Structure 1
Amino acid sequence: MLVRIRERRIEAQDVVSLVLECGDGAELPPWQAGAHIDLKISDDVVRQYSLCSLPAQRDCWRLGVLRQPEGRGGSEAVFALAEGALVEVSAPRNNFALVEAQRYLFVAGGIGITPVLPMIHAADTAGADWRLVYGGRSRKAMAFTQELAGYGDRVELLPEDERGLIDLAAALAWCDDNTLVYACGPEAMLHAIETAMIDHAAALHLERFTPKAQGEGLADEPFEVEFVASGLTRTVPAGTSILSVAEQEGLPVFSSCEQGTCGTCVTAIVSGRADHRDSLLSQAERESNEQLCICVSRAEPGAGPLRLDL
């Protein structure tokens, strides 16, 4: 779907917001807090960005983009887009949906504030009790702070150069048994929250922009995969993904990040056991063995062929 950049605004140091609209004035597809879209700059440059406007605003979508000069070049290309430019986007997908609860703790680090903005609006509108702890390198690098000021003392801003890193123990002490925790930000912060909440993992919801560490010594051996719907059985060599093999066979697969974070390539498992190496599925979803990310995950060693609904 082609959309036009209606507005481009500087929101903080190295952060811009892009407001997107349909060129013909039509309404954009519906979405809910936590959703993201793919933004395609070229055949080789596709990036995921959280929607940070409000779902009720069907005439436009807003994205927040962090410029990352040390990255792979995607953010630089998006950061350089001007008002009036046409860009191709996907329909919204949501791997970070806001579950109804009485109480929420939101923890955001840096550009991780973007999916949280519509979440706190939804929680506030529903009359839930909530708190946001938002950290960044410095005050001038923290985006959307003027917007957040309207929520008063429910929001705690923690610029690192003024107040240090987020005190997760203090933040989590506010939680009770009815509190859900939503967090998005740098991997070090998310790992620390996972560790702190290891005994309360069901209450924790995370969204990652980069893959989490998978550990040392992961086996990477050839295995058999059967694409059930297509009637094909193929060997996936070591160092090659299921996605690559499926693409070589011309199967109808879709992908974007190819790092196990976006959810585009999630595929149903018919039988067999997966060796999950993604940064998306919850522990419960992994244990259910109903789906896997074919861009990074493999068959569990010694568990026999992996049969997929492709």
Structure 2
Amino acid sequence: MGQRRFGRAMEAVREYRASRTIPEDLHGRGGMDEMLAQITDGLDKMFAILDHSEYKARAAPVQVRTLDMVVSEKMAICVDENVVGLTFRRADGADVPPWRAGSHLDVELPSGRRRQYSLCGDPRETDAYSIAVRLVPDGGGGSVEMHALEVGDRVSITGPRNAFPFVASGSALFVAGGIGMTAIIPMIRKAREVGMDWHLVYSGRTTESMPFLDEVSTWEQDRVTVRTDAVDGLPGAADLLRDAPDGGSVYCCGPPPMIAVVREGITATSATRLHYERFSAPPVVAGESFSVELARTGTVVDVASDETALDAVRRVRPGVPYSCRQGFCGTCKVRVLAGVPEHRDRRLSDDERADHMLICVSRSAGEQLTLDL
């Protein structure tokens, strides 16, 4: 009788746990209630003992470390879009830490710039990491420096980290825009491997500007929709979400306008979860103008209502460090000497928020902040 009661309790907890999420974060993903997860672990163990079966503890998280890497391969992936593929191997010849679809690397370049790139290789390849980088000549300089790397050059890499996790079960629609395909392609490879019900909508300016299209053309074409702005026009929600699965998930990676369309249109579908990742900074929402004083020089810069403090500071301090521009990597953390920040990040702890802010997304609750810059 006791075992049956525990069985019913276990099922109830599992169902409740599956339905409990915290509010969606920057990437559209939720997280399990940690206390409930611990209770579930305890019940798992207790029920396993009663049932005389093996208790399988949850796997430990992947260790994140900084590695000295060497460029082992460099190749052009998409000439029209200036996308280059780079493969890195450890300088000491050892295997790389494991990763899963959706993971990215933090690459520290010789200049000190730190940038993040999605892994687009094969997780079963244990001795190398592969990424693809689109050249943005008028960007922050990171892509230009990445394109200048040659075979034999060394860089420092931290990771892998996963801010865009993929669950290889059920049904899924993948929506990719341009270079956003780098994050999506390992997911689809895995979906095909395990026999998931999946569809892909891949959009770009022209077919010549879309990386990995050669591989995409070898997949089941009844599951693939390729759209180009040149032929089909800019896609709307109906174009991107036509195959959103009933009760399934949507994974989206691409430019901000595409993500905005998907976020607005997802509620009209029967899909239950949306996961997304940006490759550029999100637009500022509900911003108020304020000023920032750079304490080390006394320079005061104005931050417009539709720009970030990072963008404003870079006008006078172009070398200020940053990476994700989305409030999750922590590279642009700055000490606040005066004023009250309006925190919009999902990285800092409560203690850190007392006297620090991430200037890529957070703003000021008043008219001025003084930063330790």
Normalising to structure 1: TM-score of the pair?
A: 0.74
Cα distance in 2 for residues equivalent to 1:62 and 1:129: 27
Q: Give matches, 1:246-257, under 5 Å.
A: 256-257=322-323
SS in 2 for 1:174: coil
Cα distance in 2 for residues equivalent to 1:174 and 1:15: 29
SS in 1 for 2:218: helix
Cα distance in 2 for residues equivalent to 1:101 and 1:260: 28
Cα distance in 1 for residues equivalent to 2:245 and 2:342: 34
Q: Which residue of 2 aligns with 1:41?
A: 109
Please say if 1:206 is aligned against 2:276.
yes
Please say if 1:108 is aligned against 2:176.
yes
Determine which structure has more spread, i.e. the larger CA radius of gyration.
Answer: 2
Please say if 1:187 is aligned against 2:231.
no
Q: Which residue of 1 aligns with 2:43?
A: none
Matched to 2:105, the amino acid is I
Tell me how many residue pairs correspond in the alignment.
263
RMSD: 3.4
Q: Which residue of 2 aligns with 1:7?
A: 73
Identity percentage of aligned residues: 33
1:291–1:119 distance in 2 versus 1, CA, 3 Å: farther
Question: Once the two structures are superposed, what CA deviation does each residue of 1:121-176 show, in whole Å capped at 9, x if it has no partner?
Answer: 11112211111111111111111111222213122222222222234313313223
1:301, distance to aligned residue in structure 2 (A): 5.3
Alignment match of 2:326 (pick from 239, 260, 269): 260
Q: Which residue of 2 aligns with 1:295?
A: 358
Q: Give matches, 1:50-61, under 5 Å.
A: 50-61=118-129
Normalising to structure 2: TM-score of the pair?
A: 0.62
SS in 1 for 2:91: coil
CA contact (8 A) 1:5 1:20 kept: yes
Structure 2: runs of 5 or more not aligned = 1-66, 293-301, 310-320, 334-340, 367-373
CA contact (8 A) 1:8 1:18 kept: yes
1:198–1:64 distance in 2 versus 1, CA, 3 Å: same
Q: Give matches, 1:24-173, under 5 Å.
A: 24-153=92-221, 154-173=223-242
Cα distance in 1 for residues equivalent to 2:185 and 2:202: 11
Q: Which residue of 2 aligns with 1:229?
A: none
Question: Once the two structures are superposed, what CA deviation does each residue of 1:26-85 show, in whole Å capped at 9, x if it has no partner?
Answer: 100111110101111135311110000021111111101000112121111101111121
CA contact (8 A) 1:258 1:295 kept: no
Cα distance in 1 for residues equivalent to 2:207 and 2:352: 41
Cα distance in 2 for residues equivalent to 1:207 and 1:41: 23
1:71–1:264 distance in 2 versus 1, CA, 3 Å: same
Cα distance in 1 for residues equivalent to 2:357 and 2:331: 6
Cα distance in 1 for residues equivalent to 2:103 and 2:126: 14
Structure 1: runs of 5 or more not aligned = 223-237, 242-254, 268-273, 303-310
CA contact (8 A) 1:211 1:261 kept: no
SS in 2 for 1:92: strand
Matched to 2:77, the amino acid is E
SS in 1 for 2:259: helix
